Chain A
Amino acid sequence: MTLGVGSLDGAVRDVDVARIRDFDAFVAAHRDRAVGLAWRLVGGDAAAAEDIAQEAFLRAYRGLGQFREEAKMSTWFYRILTNEAQRHLRWRWVRQRVAGEMPADPPDPRPAATGDPKLRERVERAVADLPRGQREAFVLVHLEGFTVSEAAAITGRAAGTIKSHLHRALGKLRKALADLAPSAEATQS
């Protein structure tokens, strides 16, 4: 990110230079993962994923300085992001019910996800059908590679709860996407 002190003209002249540099580094380190995580949490909507990541970074910017350790800052950041994603899903639910049939959105200029679109849609639906806790645990741990304790800190749930959510989510997804599950023989060969 190029958020330098000079680029902000007089607007934030009194803002600590180190704070902005820290924020630049923070955005650079977490931008891609944040957008990817938001994308998976909101069911493959690239525009919404970027909006959610933007909102989370904005809030993180306002909270800079409260956190001495990067690890705590990033946990807090991903917690904001996860909550923003949930907020987005709730608003989408409201919009769909209030507006009914909405006209189709204009085509998204962002690059489409790779792979088989029909398969992606099926996986997306199966993940979206999971209850919130299971969906968040599965996406954070199995798809995004966070540890159980990190996922627990991000979602504000106990590690044991995350583990049981993971267990249940995996069972439901394997049932919903049975044809995706390879047989033991195929895995071993």
Chain B
Amino acid sequence: MSDRRDDRQPLSPDDEAFVRSVADSYAAPPMTAARRTRFDARLEERIRDGVVRRRRWFAGVAVAAVALSLLVWRAGVDAPDGGEVGRVAGSEPALDESESIAEEWILAMTTASLPETDEALPPDYLAISDLLLGD
């Protein structure tokens, strides 16, 4: 966040004091040196595991692709599309993305009845909000 120019609407002294008391009473416990060290160590471990997992996944896909190519070749059957097998082996790792899609799908199904939390602004308010609040 390089641009620190403050574009917030100035608050009244009352509001300013209120916001300060909310901020003071609702603040996370400070990060101690020990907590930082544990956080970093865990992050490092997760990155290392992720790289290894990703490589294993790549290796698995590559082995499967080679095996499939051999099968097709031995059966004397031309692959329907010569580029298809190569494309699978060389594709971007979709592991995280597919996990995310699956998770999103589960969430969407299970939270269908969840009341909409992002309140839409009424059209009349939207129309005049720029005049009232500026942009």
Contact = CB atoms under 8 A, between A and B. Distances in A.
B7 interface: yes
Interface centre among B19, B111, B125 (most CB of A within 10 A): B19
Interface string B25-49: 1111111100110011111101110
B30 to A, nearest CB: 8
B14 A50 contact: no
B40 A27 contact: yes
Contact of B28 (A36, A75, A87): A36
Contacts, number: 192
Contact of B51 (A11, A115, A141, A186): A11
Contact of A71 (B2, B11, B26): B2
| Interface of chain B: mostly helix, strand, loop or mixed | helix
Given A71-B1, A123-B22, A147-B4, A49 B28 contact: yes
Interface in B38-66: 39-44, 46-48, 50-52, 55
Nearest to A139: B26
Contacts of B32: 111
Contact of A1 (B22, B44, B126): B44
Contacts of B118: 131-133
A173 B117 CA distance: 16
A58 B2 contact: no
B18 A182 contact: yes
Interface residues of A, number: 82
Interface string A130-169: 0111100000011100111110000000111101101110
Contact of B14 (A2, A123, A127, A181): A181
B78 interface: no
B124 to A, nearest CB: 12
Contact of A110 (B27, B35, B48): B35
B48 A11 contact: yes
A93 B111 contact: yes
14 contacts: A8-B47, A9-B48, A31-B36, A32-B31, A36-B27, A49-B28, A69-B2, A115-B24, A115-B25, A149-B3, A164-B126, A174-B18, A180-B22, A184-B14
